[in-house]
Amino acid sequence: MNLTAITEPAEVAEKHFLDSCLTLKLFDIPENASFVDVGAGAGFPSLPIAILCPDLRFTLIDSLNKRVGFLKEVCSALGISAECLHLRAEDAGRGDLRESFDIAAARAVSRLSTLCEYCLPLVKVGGAFLALKGGDCAAELREAYTAIKTLGGKTESVEEYSLPCGDRRTLIVIRKFAPTPKAYPRQQSKIKSKPL
């Protein structure tokens, strides 16, 4: 279905599955937590985590119906109980899903300042947003400082690691300590043209 540029089986195993699973070594997800994967795409990191942590309650959000159809089919085939929604993240953050999740995660979606506006409105106060990023993100994290603070978050940890192939990765954990102001998330055009 052309959902990922990485298609060689060993690379898929390492760069998608292992990378997703390493999140569990770097962050302790509470038992029975509600988990939303924003921009779920082909199901990373949510599906590998769902296989390892069947107690978690998953919601997978993606803006393309083709991907949502794929996710529903995979969840059905693997016996994973997950709600798969064809929905834009900014619409989810203004609707019934607002501040309803213990954990929000996003992998390979967009820059951190934009991701925060997509994800933090979905997280309960006390919950966390997990941003799975590429290598050196120090500049991106500095750029996102205002967005994190404005949306009710605080950077809790930045974990840098390498995959066996040598590719560098970073897990940024942002803890939600205050409700997101009602003005956020904004419309997508404003999020993209005027990042916080």
CATH code of the domain containing 87: 3.40.50.150
Task: Give the pLDDT confidence score for residue 116 in this predicted structure.
Answer: 96
Other CB atoms within 10 A of residue 60 CB: 27
Question: Is position 2 within any domain?
Answer: no
Q: Is 166 exposed, middle or buried (0-12, 13-18, 19+ CB in 10 A)?
A: exposed
170 pLDDT tier (thresholds 50, 70, 90): very high
Question: Is position 109 within any domain?
Answer: yes
Task: Give the pLDDT confidence score for residue 46 in this predicted structure.
Answer: 95
Q: What is the mean pLDDT of the chain?
A: 92
Segment 38-50, tens digit of pLDDT: 999 989 999 999 9
Structural domain range at position 166: 9-193
Question: Is position 4 within any domain?
Answer: no
Q: What percent of the chain has a predicted confidence (pLDDT) above 90?
A: 77
Task: Give the pLDDT confidence score for residue 4 in this predicted structure.
Answer: 65
Question: Is position 113 within any domain?
Answer: yes
Segment 64-111, tens digit of pLDDT: 999 999 999 999 999 999 999 999 999 999 999 999 999 999 997 788
For the stretch 46-57, what's the b/e string if a residue is b when 16 or more beta carbons lie within 10 angstroms of its beta carbon?
A: bbbbbeeeeebb
Domain count, the chain: 1
Segment 122-153, tens digit of pLDDT: 999 999 999 999 878 889 999 999 999 999 99
Question: Is position 1 within any domain?
Answer: no
Task: Give the pLDDT confidence score for residue 7 in this predicted structure.
Answer: 67
Task: Give the pLDDT confidence score for residue 10 in this predicted structure.
Answer: 73
Q: How far is CA 65 from the centre of its chain?
A: 18
Report the pLDDT averaged over residues 11-40. 90
3 pLDDT tier (thresholds 50, 70, 90): low
Question: Is position 3 within any domain?
Answer: no
- Phi/psi for 133 (5° steps) reads -120, 175
Task: HSE, CB side, 13 Å, CA atoms: give it for residue 154.
Answer: 6
- Phi/psi for 91 (5° steps) reads -70, -40
Question: Is position 131 within any domain?
Answer: yes
